[in-house]
């Protein structure tokens, strides 16, 4: 039988160390909503989402109350819209109509984000994919809760450099279209390599074509809990350090597994995966950077940071895998800048640069995330950054991503405020040497060889 110490430990994690379930995300297949008539497609999409996800928010709140665990976000991911809209969208404006329908559906069911305004163009772009991509700036300006993601490469296909080049322009245009709100549109737009089909986290969530009609995916969190556990063993060697992270990750993930199974049962929708993630928020103590500091670097960015992050990421997975029946999504430690107070402090102290963040993305989940850069950064430089990050993902067979915000009218020394979970960020300097000749070449970078690993 459960004893008092165990109860106190769990409740302390929740009340003092920010343990929560970060998101319950319902994946919804919209392929059966495709029609050659745009208004019919929109109507079918609206009906399907508002029917399937009708009780999502209410169920999340009930589970939260009954188990006493906060469930921060209830969200929806959908089939990449470039597939659903290909028969009826002839202009970028047509796609914006779908975006507005999705936004309306998200508001109707009460979710705070809906992801899947997406296209998978890792090898080539169809006409429909390109129209969707070109509609992104307008769609981000006219909607509130829609997240967009574009997959531009994979280990099996190589990198679609035409798409990479185009995304440099699209990110700049999105920043311009949403300049009244500090280019917030770019915080809801991510460029990926090796994007998973079952990711519950925004902005990269979409419901892949390999998935069932509807599915429940859950993202766990709890950097504060890991930090607290490590604070109790300040001088431990690596063996004890790793063991402690693993054990803590196990406990955190078990809560996610429980919530996922309950949500799946109550909603009558199959359980998909648990995303084993350490996802920070701007709240004090809810920081991945603070864990790195506990492991022993003065600030993230100091020599040793990449190794510290690598071990953290690996132990989180090792502990989490045993705690959950199915694991997927992005699974690992997230290192966004604006959403993590410790990362912001490191940038402000001069310890952390984009180049070091890039190195860190080689060993952890995802990539360059929520980084504000000067508004006058050229589109070709942004494309260069995307190409670098995609190359890391392609060669290392992992997911990588770029979510950067070229904030219109701001430069190094300024700060940008996104609010809520998106936090605030100092503008980071970008290498000013040109990438133009490289990204303007056109075509694809071939898939890498899978032998001679050196």
Partner 1 sequence: MTRAIITVVGKDTVGIIAKVCTYLADNQINILDISQTIVQEYFNMMMIVDLTKSVKAFNQLSDELATLGEDTGVQVKCQLEDIFDKMHRI
Binding site residues, partner 1, CB under 8 A: 1-4, 6-11, 62, 65-69, 251, 254-255, 257-258
Q: How far is the CB of 69 from partner 1 (least distance, A)?
A: 6
- Rounded CA gap, 330 and 408, in Å? 30
- Rounded CA gap, 386 and 388, in Å? 5
**Closer to partner 1 at the Cβ: 172 or 251?**
251
Contact 182, 409 (CB under 8 A): no
Beta-strand relationship, 146-154 and 71-78: unpaired
**Closer to partner 1 at the Cβ: 62 or 314?**
62
- Beta partners for 327? 274
Q: How far is the CB of 250 from partner 1 (least distance, A)?
A: 9
**Closer to partner 1 at the Cβ: 69 or 382?**
69
**CB neighbours (10 Å) of residue 424?**
17
Determine whether 212 is exposed, middle or buried from the number of CB atoms within 10 Å of its CB (0-12, 13-18, 19+). exposed
Token pair 């996802």 is found at 279
**Closer to partner 1 at the Cβ: 274 or 364?**
274
First to last CA, the chain: 52
**Closer to partner 1 at the Cβ: 9 or 108?**
9
Q: Which two tokens stand for residue 248?
A: 């803590």
**Closer to partner 1 at the Cβ: 145 or 251?**
251
Q: How far is the CB of 270 from partner 1 (least distance, A)?
A: 20
Q: Which two tokens stand for residue 181?
A: 């709100």
**Closer to partner 1 at the Cβ: 323 or 439?**
323
User: Would you mind telling me the total number of residues written for the chain in this entry?
Assistant: 454
Alpha carbon 442 to its chain's center = 28
**Closer to partner 1 at the Cβ: 10 or 50?**
10
Alpha carbon 377 to its chain's center = 23
Beta strands in 4-48 (DSSP E): 21-28
Q: How far is the CB of 223 from partner 1 (least distance, A)?
A: 17
Residue 9 makes CB contacts below 8 A (sequence gap 6+) with none
> Which one-letter DSSP state was computed for residue 185?
G
Residue 217 makes CB contacts below 8 A (sequence gap 6+) with 24, 25, 26, 27, 77, 198, 199, 200, 260, 272, 273, 274, 275, 328, 329
Q: How far is the CB of 68 from partner 1 (least distance, A)?
A: 4
Q: How far is the CB of 330 from partner 1 (least distance, A)?
A: 23
Residue 396 makes CB contacts below 8 A (sequence gap 6+) with 362
Q: How far is the CB of 451 from partner 1 (least distance, A)?
A: 40
**Closer to partner 1 at the Cβ: 55 or 169?**
55
Residue (of 444, 411, 452) closest to 158 by Cα position? 444
Q: How far is the CB of 266 from partner 1 (least distance, A)?
A: 13
**Closer to partner 1 at the Cβ: 43 or 62?**
62
Q: How far is the CB of 4 from partner 1 (least distance, A)?
A: 5
Q: How far is the CB of 381 from partner 1 (least distance, A)?
A: 47
């Amino acid at each position: 039988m459960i004893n008092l110490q165990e109860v106190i430990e769990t409740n302390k994690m929740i009340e003092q160390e920010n343990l929560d379930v970060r998101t319950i995300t319902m994946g919804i297949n919209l392929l059966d909503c495709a029609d050659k008539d745009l208004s019919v497609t929109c109507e079918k999409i609206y009906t399907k989402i508002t029917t399937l996800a009708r009780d999502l928010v209410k169920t999340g709140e009930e589970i939260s109350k009954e188990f006493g665990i906060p469930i921060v976000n209830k969200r929806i991911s959908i089939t990449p819209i470039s597939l659903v809209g290909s028969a009826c969208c002839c202009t970028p404006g047509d796609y914006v109509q779908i975006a507005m329908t999705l936004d309306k559906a998200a508001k109707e069911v009460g979710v705070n984000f809906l992801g899947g305004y997406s296209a998978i163009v890792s090898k080539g772009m169809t006409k429909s994919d390109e129209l969707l991509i070109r509609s992104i700036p307008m769609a981000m300006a006219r909607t509130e809760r829609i997240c967009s993601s574009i997959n531009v490469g994979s280990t099996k296909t190589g990198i679609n450099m035409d798409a990479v080049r185009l995304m440099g322009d699209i990110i700049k245009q999105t920043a311009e279209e949403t300049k009244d709100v500090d280019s917030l549109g770019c915080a809801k737009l991510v460029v990926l390599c090796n994007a998973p089909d079952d990711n519950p986290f925004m902005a990269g969530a979409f419901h892949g074509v390999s998935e069932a009609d509807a599915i429940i995916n859950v993202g766990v969190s709890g950097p504060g809990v890991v930090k607290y556990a490590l604070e109790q063993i300040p001088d431990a060697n690596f063996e004890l350090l790793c063991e402690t992270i693993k054990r803590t990750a196990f406990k955190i993930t078990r809560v996610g597994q429980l919530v996922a199974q309950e949500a799946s049962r109550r909603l009558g929708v199959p359980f998909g995966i648990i995303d084993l993630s350490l996802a920070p928020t701007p709240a004090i103590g809810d920081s991945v950077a603070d864990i790195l500091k506990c492991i022993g670097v003065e600030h993230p960015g100091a020599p040793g940071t990449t190794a510290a992050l690598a071990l953290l990421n690996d132990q989180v997975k090792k502990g989490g895998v045993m705690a959950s029946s199915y694991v997927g999504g992005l699974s690992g430690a997230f290192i966004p800048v604006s959403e993590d107070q410790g990362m912001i402090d490191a940038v402000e102290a001069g310890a952390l640069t984009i180049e070091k963040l890039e190195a860190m993305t080689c060993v952890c989940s995802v990539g360059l995330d929520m980084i504000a850069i000067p508004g006058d950064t050229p589109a070709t430089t942004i494309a260069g950054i995307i190409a670098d990050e995609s190359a890391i993902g392609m060669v290392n067979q992992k997911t990588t991503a770029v979510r950067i915000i070229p904030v219109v009218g701001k430069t190094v020394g300024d700060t940008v405020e996104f609010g809520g979970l998106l936090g605030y960020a100092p503008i980071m300097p970008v290498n000013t040497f040109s990438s133009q000749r490289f990204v303007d070449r056109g075509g694809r970078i071939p898939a890498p060889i899978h032998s001679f690993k050196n």
